[in-house]
Chains A and B, each alone.
Chain A
């Protein structure tokens, strides 16, 4: 069974600095997708960035980028120029490639709570 591990329950970063959140996963699949979700205090789940396993190029979205190491099964999130609004819980998630039933489910890590210090 696939698993997702986030080993950092809490992280802290100074405003304008860079922080990296770690995520590792375990799967025997070759086709899959990885995601980072942000959950602010409002509870809303917001998709931050996604990565297709077949793409070697790391995904980027403005100040957010990932370091995808497929062989190591690692998928870390880097937040550059951290802002106060980045303070939130961040979840790493895995989804197997296209298919029906259980393969469509998202498997989540336990989350990393990020604090941003002014």
Chain B
């Protein structure tokens, strides 16, 4: 969906390196989320943000850092990448108080840590 863009689509990095995954949305949705997808686990929430400068941990936050200085951007940083962080990462957004819909997802970033 053109309204939410993730970059890069693929990334290979080495253990110990810092890597940042980008997420940009054009709808001014208040809520943004980062999920990781792993076989046998489905999608698990890493961090979410209710608005600019408001972030909170999800189910699996260890090893990740987020920031949200602007409503439209929500980057996810792996401070020191580990092999266990090899995964597909999805960014998503939603409208405040609108619970009849799910989320709108980006197309995902496949990250491989070697």
Q: Name A residues whose Cβ lies closer than 8 Å to a Cβ of B.
A: 4, 6, 33, 35, 37, 42-45, 47, 50, 52, 91, 93, 95-98, 100-102, 104-111
Contact = CB atoms under 8 A, between A and B. Distances in A.
A46 to B, nearest CB: 9
A104 B94 contact: yes
B42 A109 contact: yes
A45 B105 contact: yes
Nearest to A95: B99
Contacts, number: 67
Contacts of B41: 110
Interface residues of B, number: 30
B56 interface: yes
B107 interface: yes
Contacts of B94: 104
B107 A44 contact: yes
A52 B31 CA distance: 20
